[in-house]
Amino acid sequence: MARILTVPSDPPPSFFVRIVDLVRRGGLLAVGTESSYALAASVSVPDALDRVVRSKRRPSGKPLLVLIGEQSQLDSLAGVIPSWVHTIVNEFWPGPLTVIVPAQPEVSPVLTAGTGTIGIREPAPAFLRSLLRYTGPLTGTSANRSGHVPCLTAEEVEAALGHDVDLILDTGPAPGNRPSTLLSVVDEPAILRAGPVSAEEIQRVLSKIGLLVPVKGLP
């Protein structure tokens, strides 16, 4: 079974050393986000990405979202993006907005599912962002078998995925909020999944910089 490691309120840099080593060796973590626990693996270790897919029993052809610890990490994953995208992420990151952007050519097809695009988010929890600054970008798919309810506690992750995950970082109960809004910025801005950030809020930000292209919402 996976080891559960309780995360202190203000972890020192030494707390992250073994976690970073595990991630670099292809380890699979579970960690709390602002919605549920997520399966976190290095985006640059192919075997680790395969483990995420196997652990979730995820159907082929579905992309994996990626978490970053700061906006500077966006450049390693995203291709050319319009300048107004930075205005959006400056407004809503860290927070529950995932932007779908063109992917760099070297990004794993496990992450893009062959679409040429990748979903990226800077999450709100301070510990998770600190972790991501040490490890680099990690996957952010929910910790559960495909089709099952996402896990909200370390104990639920252990019961559901304990034989597949190497380390569960216990950050306390996740709040169970709605998953992040998915916003495609590949062409015109379009909401692909409704979430905490609405099309109207995004439109308001774009209007401030004089971008009058309407944000396509869901029916």
* pLDDT per position as a tens digit, 75-98: 999 999 988 999 999 999 999 999
pLDDT, tens only, 104-154: 999 999 999 999 999 999 999 999 999 999 999 999 999 999 999 999 999
pLDDT, tens only, 163-210: 999 999 999 999 999 999 999 999 889 999 999 999 999 999 999 888
pLDDT of residue 213: 65
Residue 141 pairs in a beta bridge with: 39
pLDDT of residue 146: 93
Of 125, 146, 128, 150, which is closest to residue 137 (Cα–Cα)? 128
* Residue 86 Cα distances to 75, 80, 194, angstroms: 12, 12, 20
Tokens representing residue 13 in the block: 């840099």
- Provide the strand spans (E) within 27-90: 29-32, 37-40, 66-67
φ, ψ of residue 210 in degrees (nearest 5): 80, 15
CATH class of 3-208: alpha beta
Angle between helices 83-92 and 199-208 (to 10 degrees): 120
pLDDT of residue 113: 95
Q: List the chain domain ranges.
A: 3-208
pLDDT tier, 218 (very low <50, low <70, confident <90, very high otherwise): low
pLDDT tier, 214 (very low <50, low <70, confident <90, very high otherwise): confident
pLDDT of residue 215: 81
pLDDT tier, 17 (very low <50, low <70, confident <90, very high otherwise): very high
Classify residue 98 as exposed, middle or buried by CB count within 10 Å of its CB (0-12, 13-18, 19+).
Answer: buried
Distance CA(68)–CA(139), nearest Å, equals 9
Does the global pTM surpass 0.75? yes
